[in-house]
Amino acid sequence: MDTWFQMMDRQYRNVLVLSGCQATLQTTGTTMIAVTGLAGLALATDKAFATVPLTTYVIGSAITTIPASLLMNSVGRRAGFQVGTALGVLGAAISAAAVYLSNFWLLCAGTMVLGMYTAFGKYYRFAAADAAEVDFRAKAISLTLAGGIAGGIVGPEMAKHSTDLVANHTYMGSYLSLIAVSLVAMLFLTGLDIPRLSEQERRDSGRPLSVIMRQPVFIVAALASMLSYGIMNLFMTSTPLAMRAHHHHFNDAAFVLQWHMIGMYGPSFITGSLIHRYGVLNIILAGIVLLFVCIIAALAGTELLNFWVALFLLGVGWNFMYVGGSALLTECHAPAERAKTQAANDFMVFVTMAISSLSSGLLLNASGWHAVNYGSIPFLLLAASATLWLMWQRRSTPRHQTVPE
């Protein structure tokens, strides 16, 4: 007899599987954010380089984004994602060894491999859209990302309880726990059922990437994803260090990051419906406004309440911009073009994250927490201007075109 899972409609079943994978990916990401800056601080000779392991994590993602998309275009989503989870196991093992050996540069190598795993995992949202009907795509992306709320809750708790798991090797237990998390993702992926592109679709490359990237819809979609992630990463990378500098306990930082993750992924249960009701550009604009309010809360003080409110609003604002940008991207490419279009978009996201990770530590070390906040404002203004520009274009051209199936 068929199980309940097997009887589900395929597009809903895939969303459920990918949502579970997103939960494991976010557990890894949250644990990384919670402990890696502090591990880097403990191992680095020059404390200004404490966030370099987080930067190499993002660099690993950036250099793998395009090869990951092309590999999945060739071998299919499930096989490609399994390669990614294997990299997760390897990266966590190297990072644990680095802490054991007190080797800063080995930690950077381990986090780079974990970044490669993340590059594969960031395609979970697009994989959900690949197998979804047009009207369900925004919801498929949103509901897949909703799985991150589990990771947002589990990650900080796992970081708190595993930090001192191995005697005399603080943070080693946290990296060892990530091996198990990647193995759980491997198990989930056995239930993924997304058809591979046909031979003709794999041969047909579609329009040149330069033509696709010149579309106003691509520009705004990419900016929404890039800047939301860049600003969010700028804050998240520096928050544990800023809270430590203002005499907050590690558990307070874990609490703030936990609520930040709830803000990031909790709205995903309704973001797709909000996009369907109010329009994708209005939701992106709402996210930008929330990020401005986040900055105001962060600049108002350095008490626990200020960090909590700012990071929670940062999460919700990121959600609206990132889900909106991802949904908008599906409008500008045909199936044969999706690998290179998604790869170009996510490559730019990870390059932005790499720059923001490195800038975060330098800004915080040189000028303090307020500099991190003020540094975000010009980029938010850029995102707002681009979104308003596309809204004006669409209003002046009532029947905007989307790429046909």
Quick one: pLDDT band at residue 142, thresholds 50, 70, 90? Answer: very high
Nearest to 372 by CA among 289, 288, 314: 314
Tokens encoding 109:
């190598």
Q: Would you say 140 and 128 are in contact if contact means Cβ atoms under 8 Å apart?
A: yes
- pLDDT (mean) for 121-149: 89
379 versus 165: the higher-pLDDT residue is: 379
Residue 402 lies in a domain: no
Task: Give CA–CA dist 271/262, Å, rounded.
Answer: 14
3-class SS at 330?
Answer: coil
The CA-atom distances, in angstroms, between 176 and each of 12, 29, 55, 228 are 33, 14, 21, 30
Nearest to 234 by CA among 374, 32, 75: 374
Task: Give CA–CA dist 384/387, Å, rounded.
Answer: 5
Q: Would you say 338 and 194 are in contact if contact means Cβ atoms under 8 Å apart?
A: no
pLDDT score, position 94? 96
Tokens encoding 141:
């992306």
Domain range holding 361?
A: 4-396
pLDDT score, position 404? 44
Residue 328 has pLDDT above 60, yes or no: yes
pLDDT tens figures, 150-170:
877 787 778 777 887 888 888
Phi and psi torsions of 373, nearest 5°: -70, -50
Number of Cβ within 10 Å of residue 144's Cβ equals: 29
201 versus 311: the higher-pLDDT residue is: 311
Task: Give CA–CA dist 381/106, Å, rounded.
Answer: 38
Residue 122 has pLDDT above 60, yes or no: yes
Residue 349 lies in a domain: yes
Quick one: pLDDT band at residue 107, thresholds 50, 70, 90? Answer: very high
Tokens encoding 337:
């073009």
- pLDDT (mean) for 389-402: 75
Task: CATH number of the domain at 31, please.
Answer: 1.20.1250.20
6 versus 129: the higher-pLDDT residue is: 129
Largest CA distance in the chain: 65
Give the number of domains in the chain.
1
Tokens encoding 270:
């309704």
Using only the alpha carbons of the chain, give its radius of gyration. Answer: 20
pLDDT score, position 200? 66
pLDDT score, position 198? 65
pLDDT tens figures, 270-292:
999 999 899 999 999 999 999 99
Residue 156 lies in a domain: yes
Residue 296 lies in a domain: yes
pLDDT tens figures, 233-269:
888 778 877 888 788 887 788 788 878 888 988 899 8
Task: Give CA–CA dist 194/140, Å, rounded.
Answer: 13
CB-based burial label for 250 (10 Å; 0-12, 13-18, 19+): middle
3-class SS at 136?
Answer: helix
Q: Would you say 280 and 328 are in contact if contact means Cβ atoms under 8 Å apart?
A: yes
Residue 287 lies in a domain: yes
Task: Give CA–CA dist 326/299, Å, rounded.
Answer: 30
pLDDT tens figures, 212-235:
999 999 999 999 999 998 898 888
Residue 107 lies in a domain: yes
134 versus 282: the higher-pLDDT residue is: 282
Task: Give CA–CA dist 129/15, Å, rounded.
Answer: 9
Among the residue ranges 221-230, 348-357, 372-381, the one predicted with the least confidence is 348-357
Tokens encoding 90:
């390897």
Tokens encoding 298:
């962060």
Nearest to 291 by CA among 263, 258, 266: 263
Residue 401 lies in a domain: no
Residue 1 has pLDDT above 60, yes or no: no
- pLDDT (mean) for 103-108: 94
Tokens encoding 238:
């520096």
pLDDT score, position 405? 46
Residue 405 lies in a domain: no
CB-based burial label for 213 (10 Å; 0-12, 13-18, 19+): middle
Quick one: pLDDT band at residue 400, thresholds 50, 70, 90? Answer: low
Q: Would you say 356 and 231 are in contact if contact means Cβ atoms under 8 Å apart?
A: yes
Q: Would you say 263 and 256 are in contact if contact means Cβ atoms under 8 Å apart?
A: no
